[in-house]
Amino acid sequence: MKLAGKLISQTLSALLFVLLLVMILLVLSSKASGGQPEFFGYQLKTVLSGSMEPGIQTGSIIAVKTGGDMNRFQPGDVITFKMDEKDLATHRIVAKKASGQAVIYTTKGDNNKTPDSEPVLAQNVTAQYTGFTIPYIGYFIEYAKSKEGNALLFIIPGLLLIGYSIITIWRVISRLEEPKRV
């Protein structure tokens, strides 16, 4: 019984410590890359609209592959592109036009009735959708990007570690105060 309790205690401590480290790495990576952590050429993006439903639900996170030749895409591919200086969209290519070196894509959200009003220059494409999506996690990630959410990601694991340490210290002290049996 004591061994099982000790094993559970050590496992819980290790998990809380790893959680704290992961949160620190995510925040630092996010800040260092200008808000978009990248792992081996892949980025996670949050879907904020229903334009690609039902395939990609609002509030999902998706994995996109960055880099490469942005002229390579064909109709049917799903790309992430800059709509303006700060906003991105992920839509399906419905047409491709090449004029000399310039490539222009016509895009459309799967849930939209008409194609996007502005064509997308190949140089404004930032990534290609990989097909990987996790529903609803994006809501949490968007909250975590806020100042309040960012603080909570540090505070909650830290408080859990402190609370667990206090409990552990209290148990050790109570064992020391117990009279020894002879």
The residues that bridge with 103 in the sheet, in sequence order, are 98
- Residue 156 CB contacts under 8 Å (≥ 6 apart), including other chains: none
Of 160, 55, 176, 168, nearest to 111 by C-alpha is 55
One of 49, 51, 99, 117 is an active-site residue; which one? 49
Reply yes or no on whether 49 is catalytic.
yes
Of 78, 77, 81, nearest to 126 by C-alpha is 81
At 128, list the tokens: 């290609």
Distance in angstroms (rounded) separating the CA atoms of residues 174 and 36: 48
In contact, 115 and 97? CB cutoff 8 Å: no
Positions marked catalytic: 49
